[in-house]
A and B are shown apart, each in its own frame.
Chain A
Amino acid sequence: MVEPVLDVRGLTVALPSDGDRANAVEDISLTVAPGEIVCVVGESGSGKSVTASAVMGLLPAALKPVAGEALLEGENTLAANKTRLRALRGTRMAMIFQEPMTALNPVARVGEQIAEMLEIHTGMSASERRARAIEIMQMVHLPDPEKMIDAYPHQLSGGQRQRIMIAIALVLDPALLIADEPTTALDVTTQAQILTLIKEMQERRGTGVLFITHDFGVVAEIADRVVVMQHGKIVEQGTRDEVLMRPQAPYTQMLMASVPSMTPPARTPVVGARAIDVTGLSKQYGKTGLFGDGRVVLAADDVTLHVNKGETLGIVGESGSGKSTVARCIARLIAPTAGSISLHGTEIATLPEARLRPHRRKVQIVFQDPYRSLNPRRTIGLSLIEAPVNFGIPKDQALASARSLMELVGLSADALDRYPHQFSGGQRQRICIARALAVEPDVLIADEAVSALDVSVQAQVLELLDDIRARYNLAMLFITHDLRVAAQICDRLMVMQKGVVVEHGPTGQVFRDPANEYTKLLLEAAPGRDVTFGAGRAV
């Protein structure tokens, strides 16, 4: 058997004494062989990033490894001193991160950032470094490296930035590459390309890859072996097919069952009264002419849609497709440039703010990030009754209905006196849903409402949203970039690209028989689309 490039044995990292558990990770043992991709999966807080940072010696000062070793080609990085650790980083082990925009220094040229690696670890001259940087940029398939080498990160696209990060990590040919959620912040088509690139690089160079992710689709695409973590411990490890198809641990089985399927369930068309009717909606940002700076973006271009009562319309698309712009126009958080928006027959596209107010309560939004959409200094109760009280409902009555709403979304009514930080992400999203329902809306807009949630929580929140839609006969507009989620919850789907609706139809039909090229591209790029998770489960 070949010697592994990484051999972690019994790694335990202690949390500070005020942490919610004694150890961030406990007794972690895993190996990565040369040329092997090992995926570490788990939900947030499972300790997967801590494991990676511990190997690199990049743990925050508050976290200390207290037991075990991390052998990098036989050398224990946990015991290495600072100088030795610096020498190992970049040369023998390298790391890429989740968010390529923030992981690159925004004020330094990308070429300099690649060359910096060579400057630290080799005696190359400036011109040699530049030549080598161009060479590695070519290898990661960046277009026109001679020109791009002098660009700044903000001038590149998300995918290009991640390619730069990969170039930095691989320029010295390390034995181990640690990738911490490297595609999570990317659009699905870009994600597919980056996964292919990581695979290609790893095959060509025989690099061992420790790949951290929460996305089982990605695992299905890329993993040789899978390590599943929960609460800082490894609950299961095995080959990709063993873990994905025949999971043994109950936790893994639960996770696999929670991954939404790419196959939409059969649905009967909803025939209700029209709740929203949008025709020819356009939104233009920027101004031309005398006082504008000439930069104009057409964020939404001639969008026409309708949603019936009791129906869920999904808008899917990548970042910049205009899906959120459309949602914001319908909620009249922004004013459309042209077109009509009719809410139960009332035209609201051009209503001035004062006359818009009564309509505001009819359209409510649940946003993506439950950590930032609740005021941290107000109790849940205050957040829940704010809107009803604004619309003239007596405080006592608003509080009473807040209590019953909390129970409706699966939380205790006693929690009204608590503050947002005392809840988990999933609970906060439930609170946001309760807040939206507090004013008895007709239309609920979910803007990436489950995208920030872990997969098991995501399944529960999706179920809650669907329940509420049915119970109140709500028209729901569901904005998402996640095709799996869209497949499960939407009656009809609209695919947007660069502000334009490119495809529109019943969910089942769009998935089975996409008419538009871009829709096909999106469906093909969805990671793990052919895998039915937990399909071969041993009972």
Chain B
Amino acid sequence: MVSYLLRRILATIPVMLFVAVFIFLLLRLTPGDPATIIAGDFANETQVAEIREKLGLDEPMVTQFFVWIGNMVQGDFGESFFYKKQVSDLIASRIEPTLSLSLLTIVLTVTIAVPMGTLAAYKQGSWLDRGIMGFSVLGFSLPVFVIGYALIYLFSIKLGWLPVQGYQRISDGVGGWLLRLLLPSLALAVIFVAFIARMTRTSVLEVLGEDYIRTARAKGQTETRVLLRHALRNAAVPIVTVIGLAFAILIGGVVVTESVFTLPGLGLLTVEAVLARDFPTIQAVILLFSFIYVLINLMIDVSYTLLDPRIRY
């Protein structure tokens, strides 16, 4: 197990290196020169060249790449072209809204979807099952921004229960933090609830047909415990897999949600950085995202060993 973990962690290095090369080339090969943007509309050639030199963009690409990697190894992610701040500080100040939003969404999703899917499986073919599956189809078909604006319209504008937009730091009060995050999380959660409820239903249905469920009933076990103790635990591996993937997709998908709800998180930072051709910031954020992906995948694999004693690495 320890050696497996070590191997997996070592294996992240080439993955991250590949992402680094890819994002580095992508930025430099797409049109748009950061120096021109920083210099503004009325700058002349010399000024632009000066800025380019200051940012190190006049060096050959290979040199630029190795300077960047070399600095990163020492923990220096560079300075943002646009904000004139250390990229690491920039990310640190923006990570809280993103993590808050993603975590709250996942918590909402799991608490709604897993019981829903289990119930649908247990009552297979009933009106409850059909209702839940109907909702699931609907949830799949609606884009996040439609749900988001619909929720804002209903709860914020019509009913006035919740704030329209914005973010409050958790240190300034949990109540306000939660209140402002509730709508965006709910909007994001809908599609994942639809997905994970379906997955849970399928997985539990399959397990309910297994012999050990019959054994549990032959023991005189109550239906609730048959479901919780025998069915759900055996159905857990595929469910946990999609929850993990959902979390990874969420972190990547915050770009849209944060724009809709103007949350000052990493998603918004990415949008701003891309518009400003802020190379160091874009590179660092993308690398961070891919690192989180790799980490989540590792966590999913490790969780298997906890859920199923037959799986050992």
Contact = CB atoms under 8 A, between A and B. Distances in A.
Interface in B182-238: 210-212, 214-222, 229-230, 233-234
B215 to A, nearest CB: 5
B301 to A, nearest CB: 16
A121 B219 CA distance: 9
Interface in A74-95: 85-91, 94-95
Nearest to A151: B309
19 contacts: A85-B220, A87-B220, A89-B217, A89-B220, A97-B214, A103-B211, A103-B215, A105-B212, A105-B230, A105-B234, A106-B309, A107-B308, A107-B310, A108-B230, A116-B216, A116-B221, A120-B219, A120-B221, A152-B309
B217 A105 contact: no
A65 to B, nearest CB: 17
B220 A103 contact: no
Interface residues of B, number: 20
Contact of A106 (B221, B222, B229, B234): B234
Interface in A96-155: 97, 99, 102-108, 116-117, 120-121, 152, 154
Q: Which 3 A-B pairs have CB atoms at the shortest separation, nearest pair first? A: A89-B220, A102-B211, A86-B220
B214 A103 contact: yes
B13 interface: no
A89 B218 contact: yes
Contacts, number: 71
A104 B219 contact: no
Contacts of B211: 97, 99, 102-103
Contacts of A88: 220
Contacts of B216: 105, 116
A58 interface: yes
A56 interface: yes
Nearest to A121: B220
A104 B221 contact: no
Interface string B276-313: 00000000000000000000000000000001111000
Contacts of A434: none
A70 interface: no
Contact of B218 (A56, A121, A154): A56
B220 A102 contact: no
A103 B210 CA distance: 8
Contacts of A116: 216, 219, 221
A95 B219 CA distance: 8
Interface string B228-257: 011001100000000000000000000000
Contacts of A85: 220
Given A89-B217, A99-B211, 18 more contacts: A58-B214, A58-B217, A58-B218, A85-B220, A90-B219, A97-B214, A102-B210, A102-B212, A103-B214, A106-B310, A107-B309, A108-B229, A116-B216, A117-B220, A120-B220, A120-B222, A154-B309, A165-B215
B307 A107 contact: yes
Interface of B: 210-212, 214-222, 229-230, 233-234, 307-310
A168 interface: yes
Contacts of B309: 106-107, 152, 154
Nearest to A105: B212
A107 B214 contact: no
B233 A95 contact: no
B310 A154 contact: yes
Contact of B308 (A89, A90, A106, A168): A106
B219 A103 contact: no
Contacts of A89: 217-220
Contacts of B307: 107
A325 B306 CA distance: 34
A58 B218 CA distance: 7
Given A58-B217, A87-B220, A152 B230 contact: no
A106 B220 CA distance: 19
A87 B211 CA distance: 20
Most chain A CB within 10 A, of B212, B217, B229, B310, is at: B212
A97 B234 contact: no
A86 B217 CA distance: 8
B220 A90 contact: yes
Contacts of A97: 211, 214-215
Contacts of A105: 212, 215-216, 230, 233-234
Contacts of B220: 85-91, 117, 120-121
Nearest to B307: A107
A107 B216 CA distance: 13
Contacts of A56: 218
A103 B212 contact: yes
Interface string A54-70: 00101000000000000
Contacts of B222: 86, 120
A104 B215 contact: yes
Nearest to A165: B215
A86 B221 contact: yes
A99 B212 CA distance: 10
B237 to A, nearest CB: 9
Contact of B212 (A58, A106, A121, A152): A106
Nearest to A56: B218
B212 A104 contact: yes
Contacts of B221: 86, 116, 120
B3 to A, nearest CB: 11
B6 to A, nearest CB: 15
A99 B211 CA distance: 8
